A and B are shown apart, each in its own frame.
Chain A
Amino acid sequence: MTERAPVHLSADSEEMEISFGPQHPATHGVLRVMVKIDGERIVETKPVIGYLHRGTEKIFERETYNGCIPHTDRMDYTAAATNNQGLVGAVEKMMGITIPPRAAYIRMMLAELQRIASHTIWLGTHALDIGAQSPFFYTFEEREKILDLYEEYCGARLTLNAMRVGGQPFDLPSGWTDRCRAFIDQLPAKIADWERLLTKNRIWKLRTVGIGVMSGADAIEWGLTGPPLRGSGVKWDVRKVFPYDHYEEMEFDIPIGTNGDTYDRYLVRMEEMRQSVRIVRQCLDRLPDGPVMAKVPKVIKPPKGEVYFSVEGPKGELGYYVVSDGTDKPYRLHVRPACFINLQALPELVRGHLVADLIAVIGTLDIVLGEIDR
């Protein structure tokens, strides 16, 4: 008879340590959370990361600038377009390239569609974690349509590699704008459908209102960006404060929450999808003609120096810090990942909550391990 391992339940202590993940169904990939619980109440949490580390930043150093772009696809693999956008933007800033307006508009459309696609994954999995199965399938249906649009544009659905330093590699295929418009036109009704399942649902509110609360000041202290920051009531969006591409020409609102809880972050993201629809529609309406690629040298060699450039990704601020030594490869390329920094707040957000809330909070932070570990 083999010895029974102690289940860490002794008379004087009710605390038990559980390892959630890295292969747990609700940790969104390979996040591992060491949780110390007292009954069902969380005493302490410690995220353990690194299971998806691929040394992306080191790989950057041996690639040409355009060669780095496919590697950015694989960081936040649910938002390849915005990852591309950040890197090419940084290199263009460094070299002082102004991309043609048509290219900028195409970039904005791809990025906003990506934001919608990323938020659909978030909503589906978040709802699934909280026990509502069906939204997952409804949101994935819409995401598929976005991926179809991507496939038509650049041939890839997930790892797009859809931008280049100096503009866009391809013009839009004929008929793409019509299909994109058709998709955009039907989407708000679908978003309303999803909201009908959840927004006023009693159980959904019980599970999300007042869970994982963070004040605006705390959120800034923790360095949160994106929906977690805006959910806490801080009006901060890179697209507005440091506009890139042509976002300054676009009309859109920044939704913010009031309580900084999981429910507010949910509402913020739902509204962001609608705002993204607005932006894509404006892009389609005003899409200028012209070339999609600026005149850039065959070999991209930024001048010696360093630059930081960030975009508003679906998860938060995605920044690229590029150090160039004047050669065709970056000397150092550091990424400021949104998910990694948002995840830091996890122990703070779940302290004192129940185990079930841990899952809700992991869902509401909308992390992608590919970006956390890189």
Chain B
Amino acid sequence: MTTPWMTYLLIPLIKIVVILVVLILLAAYLSWFERRILAFMQIRIGPNRVWPKGWLQAIADALKLFSKEDVIPARAEKLVFLLGPVLATAPALIVFSVIPFGPSDLLRLTDVNIGILFILGVASVGIYGIILGGWASNNKFSLMGGLRSAAQLISYEVPMGFAVVTVVLMANSLSLVKIVEAQKAQHVWFAFPGWLAIPGLIAFFIYFICGVAETNRNPFDLPEAESELVAGFHTEYSGMKFAFYFLAEYANMVVIASIATVLFLGGWLRPFPNVAALAFLDVIPPIVWFFAKVAVFLFVYIWFRGTFPRYRFDQLMALGWKVFIPVSLINLMAVGLGILLLGGPR
């Protein structure tokens, strides 16, 4: 029945299409949710007109952007200018190939044994999209936005990596599936694991804050700080190319939230996997748990945006280099030492 053709080509292809469609829809609808939630926080109404009740707003926006005139500034570096949005969007989508949405093989594209490494590597490529786009626009505001984000992303990648490595130590694996399974075996979420409670929480906190910075979201939205840099690196982008940057930002939010869920909040596991009394929660399918956790993260993202002012560039760098990197490094060493001395949670 299962020919190699099916196993290696057809089924993965179907999965890829499904994941891409779901992710793109998710990113599009995230923008709608953001607008609605922000509106409620800001005593407004938000988009509620496109039938029914504004639910098709995201689709309408996409159609509008599709039909816009595609402007390329006369003095832009054309090839690089075109490459920018692609380089920004593709990595965000590729990362999803290794994210497990549930325990069964059907609910993920693949399980790579170096999944985390793959994610960190691919996600970093996204920076090129921003810096090249900013540079190729031949606009000073874009250039400054691009430079800012390059500095920001590189600085925040480091503590983020340390936070991730903390989890790797705890789970003793680089595979995302194995990490979730380790959390199941140890009956904990890694944000709150047994004797490692404090380092786990610190790592989680650092990962999340760096995630906000990585996705250029408020209060770290300097690259596109509207009041300073007009629209930052995508000032000159319009129509579909702008839509791609937009998609990349929101897809990245989903990516960061998904990775945080997998690494720190037990992926598809129910809350308190060690408490038998809560076993009735298993009625809810794992994939629902997964997306519920992701949704909580995304809500916090939007909540941030409704609350905080923006950091200044030097303050942002100081925060990254002087606070997050030392703290995450010490945290990582503490966990390593703990595992060495006390015996890790095997």
Contact = CB atoms under 8 A, between A and B. Distances in A.
A206 B315 contact: yes
B221 A4 contact: no
A4 B221 CA distance: 29
B36 interface: no
B166 to A, nearest CB: 25
A48 to B, nearest CB: 17
Given A7-B143, A354-B314, A359 B227 contact: yes
A130 interface: yes
Contacts of B284: none
Contacts of A203: 219, 308-311
Contacts of A18: 140-141
A4 B75 contact: yes
A356 B313 contact: yes
A158 B87 CA distance: 48
A138 B307 CA distance: 12
Interface in A15-55: 16, 18, 24-26, 40
A235 to B, nearest CB: 30
B314 A204 contact: no
Contact of A16 (B42, B140, B222, B225): B140
Contact of B307 (A26, A132, A354): A132
Contact of B308 (A4, A141, A201, A355): A201
Interface in B182-230: 218-219, 221-222, 225-228, 230
B74, B221, B230, B308, most chain A CB atoms within 10 A: B308
Interface in B24-67: 38, 41-44
Interface residues of A, number: 36
Contact of A24 (B38, B230, B315): B230
A131 B308 contact: yes
Contacts of A206: 311-312, 315
Contacts of B228: 26, 355-356, 358-359
A24 B138 CA distance: 18
Contact of A131 (B140, B143, B309, B314): B309
Interface string A255-266: 000000000000
Nearest to B318: A206
A127 B309 contact: yes
A138 B309 contact: no
A313 B237 CA distance: 42
B236 to A, nearest CB: 13
Nearest to A201: B309
Contacts of B308: 131-132, 201, 203
Contacts of A24: 230
A334 interface: no
B306 interface: yes
A7, A16, A130, most chain B CB atoms within 10 A: A130
A327 interface: no
Given A137-B44, A354-B312, A356-B228, A4 B77 contact: yes
B305 interface: yes
A125 to B, nearest CB: 9
Contacts of A128: 227
A5 interface: yes
Contact of A40 (B42, B75, B314): B314
A25 B231 CA distance: 10
Interface string A118-160: 0000000001111111101110010000000000000000000
Interface size band for B: 20 to 34
Nearest to B148: A40
B228 to A, nearest CB: 5
A130 B143 CA distance: 21
B174 to A, nearest CB: 35
Contacts of B305: 133
A26 B309 contact: no
B225 to A, nearest CB: 7
B140 A7 contact: yes
Given A18-B141, A130-B227, A137-B42, A5 B309 contact: no
A359 B307 CA distance: 19
A75 B315 CA distance: 38
A197 B75 CA distance: 43
A130 B310 contact: yes
Contacts of B310: 130-132, 203, 207, 356
B89 to A, nearest CB: 25
A2 interface: yes
A3 interface: yes
A136 B227 CA distance: 14
A346 to B, nearest CB: 16
Given A26-B228, A129-B227, A197 B307 contact: yes
A5 B138 contact: yes
B43 A137 contact: yes
A357 interface: yes
Contacts of A198: 309
B195 to A, nearest CB: 31
Nearest to A204: B309
A239 B338 CA distance: 68
Contacts of B309: 127, 130-132, 198, 201, 203-204, 207
B42 A133 contact: yes
Nearest to B319: A206
A137 B230 CA distance: 21
B42 A134 contact: yes
Nearest to B218: A131
A198 B309 CA distance: 8
A344 to B, nearest CB: 22
Given A2-B75, A26-B228, A203-B308, A131 B313 contact: no
7 contacts: A7-B143, A24-B230, A130-B310, A134-B41, A356-B222, A356-B228, A357-B312
In order of increasing CB-CB distance, the 9 nearest A-B pairs are A131-B310, A26-B227, A137-B42, A132-B309, A129-B227, A131-B309, A130-B309, A356-B312, A203-B309
Given A203-B310, A354-B314, 7 more contacts: A4-B77, A7-B143, A25-B226, A26-B228, A133-B305, A138-B42, A207-B312
Interface of A: 2-5, 7, 16, 18, 24-26, 40, 127-134, 136-138, 141, 197-198, 201, 203-204, 206-207, 354-359
